[in-house]
């Protein structure tokens, strides 16, 4: 009972954090106090103050405004990348799980091969080939992290397809596509949702990491990761440029992980 209530609080707190961040990202033009790209020669490296709540960076840009616009990039990269990964995973995983046999063996061995590469290095290799536009980064993160969802979907389908109501659907003349889409996948949605929620925080972290290495979102577009990299050179004199984006990443990931944890317990 107590644990259940605590889990419920986790769910509420997690979704609260994420809703807040998502709202800020959506309303960026309304809530950001300054133009995130406006350079101001007189206000270089100002500390947090009522005029610049989070201070300014080495070009005199308002950090809070840059972070608000950066939230748009970081969150959308997370969402779209996970969307791509989950859809690819669903497609390959359900085909493998449902049809079995040679097709299953081929797909799952391909998954194993993909999993052999440490994912970050795989990501670095791909990023170095493609031009690092935001869309490309979404796709690249998505197409290097679909293996988890694929395995999950396959496992769910393997156990679900032996259930009686699948037998019944077949006896009523349902096509395989219909059985997969109407009967199997909805029943696998719970664990998949938890996995995707966890995946979003992973993707945000990956994007930050890539941007930090200079291979992610390119300046002057702000993302939390590339604000962090710019802060590297001024870390000794301007702690706020490192701390605030770092906290934003931390809080978002915490939020998504709490949401996932809460959802997991709802799924029992």
Q: What is the binding site for another protein (CB under 8 A)?
A: 100, 163-165, 167-175, 178, 182-183, 186-187
- The residue whose two tokens read 């009686």 is 164
Nearer to another protein by C-beta: 53 or 193?
193
| Closest distance of CB 176 from another protein, Å | 9
Residue closer to another protein, measured from CB, 100 or 246:
100
102 or 171: CB nearest another protein:
171
Comparing CB distances to another protein, the nearer of 53 and 158 is: 158
119 Cβ neighbours under 8 A, 6+ residues apart: 144, 145, 206
List, in sequence order, every residue forming a beta bridge with 56; answer none if it has no partner: 62
By beta-carbon proximity to another protein, the closer residue of 109 and 182 is 182
* Residue 18 C-beta: closest distance to another protein, Å: 26
Query: Least distance from C-beta 23 to another protein, angstroms?
Result: 31
**Contact yes or no for 197/262 (Cβ under 8 A):** no
Spatial distance between the Cα atoms of 97 and 196, rounded to a whole number of angstroms: 19
Q: Which is nearer to another protein, 3 or 171 (CB)?
A: 171
Which two three-digit tokens encode residue 98? Answer: 């449902």
Reference 77, options 158, 145, 15; nearest CA is 145
Minimum separation from the CB atom of position 164 to another protein (A): 4
Shortest Å, Cβ 180 to another protein: 13
Shortest separation between residue 184's beta carbon and another protein, angstroms:
10
> From the CB of 152, what's the least distance to another protein, in Å?
18
Q: Among residues 16 and 186, whose Cβ is nearest to another protein?
A: 186
213-216 long-range Cβ contacts below 8 angstroms, 24+ apart: 213/124, 215/124, 215/127, 215/128, 215/132, 216/127, 216/132, 216/137
């Amino acid at each position: 009972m107590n644990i259940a209530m605590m889990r419920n609080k986790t769910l509420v707190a997690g979704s609260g954090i994420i809703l807040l961040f998502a709202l800020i990202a959506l309303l960026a033009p309304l809530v950001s106090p300054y133009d995130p790209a406006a350079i101001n020669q007189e206000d270089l490296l100002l500390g947090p103050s009522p005029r610049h709540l989070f201070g300014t960076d080495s070009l005199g840009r308002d950090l809070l405004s840059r972070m608000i616009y950066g939230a748009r990039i970081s969150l959308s990269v997370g969402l779209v990348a996970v969307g791509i990964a989950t859809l690819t995973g669903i497609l390959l995983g359900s085909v493998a799980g449902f049809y079995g046999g040679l097709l299953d063996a081929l797909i799952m061995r391909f998954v194993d091969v993909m999993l052999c590469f440490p994912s970050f290095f795989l990501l670095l290799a791909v990023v170095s080939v493609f031009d690092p536009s935001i869309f490309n980064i979404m796709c690249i993160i998505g197409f290097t992290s679909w293996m988890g969802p694929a395995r999950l979907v396959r496992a769910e389908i393997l156990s679900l397809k032996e259930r009686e109501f699948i037998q019944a659907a077949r006896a009523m003349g349902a096509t395989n596509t219909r059985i997969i889409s109407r009967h199997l996948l909805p029943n696998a949605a719970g664990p998949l949702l938890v996995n995707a929620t966890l995946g979003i925080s992973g993707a945000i972290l990956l994007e930050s990491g890539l941007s930090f290495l200079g291979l992610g979102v390119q300046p002057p577009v702000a993302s939390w990761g590339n604000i962090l990299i710019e802060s590297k050179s001024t870390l000794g004199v301007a702690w706020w440029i490192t701390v605030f984006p770092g906290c934003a990443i931390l809080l978002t990931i915490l939020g998504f992980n709490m949401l996932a944890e809460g959802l997991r317990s709802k799924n029992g």
